[in-house]
Structure 1
Amino acid sequence: MADKLAEIPFSVLDLAPIVQGGSAADSFNRSVSLAKHAEQLGYKRIWYAEHHNMENIASSATVLLISHVAAHTKTIRVGSGGIMLPNHAPLIVAEQFGTLETLYPGRIDLGLGRAPGTDQLTSRALRRYMHSVDQFPSDVQELRDYLAIQDGRMPVKAVPGIGTQVPIWLLGSSTFSAQLAASLGLPFAFASHFAPTYLHEALRLYREQFIPSAQLEKPYVMACVNVMAAETTTEAERLATSFYQMARGIVTNERRPLQPPVDSMEGIWDEMEKAAVMQMMRYSFIGSAHEVHAGLENFVQQTGVDEIMASSHIYDNKDRLRSYSLLAPMFKGV
Structure 2
Amino acid sequence: MSEKGLPDPMDFAASGRRVFDIEADALRVVGGRIDGAFSAACQALMTTTGRVVCVGMGKSGHVARKIAATLASTGTPAFFVHPGEAGHGDLGMITDADTVLMLSNSGETDELLMLLPVLARQGNTVVSMTGKPESRLARASAVHLDVSVPAEACPLDLAPTSSTTAALAMGDALAVALLEARGFTSDDFARSHPAGSLGRRLLLHIHNVMHVGDEIPRVGQHASLGDALVEMSRKRLGMTAITREDGHLLGLFTDGDLRRTLNTPGLDVHTTPIESVMTRTPRTIGPDQLAVEAAKLMETHQINALLVVDDNAKLVGALNIHDLLRARVV
TM tier, shorter chain? under 0.3
What TM-score do the two structures reach when normalised by structure 2?
A: 0.26
What TM-score do the two structures reach when normalised by structure 1?
A: 0.26
Q: Which has the higher contact order (CA 8 A, sep 6+)?
A: 1
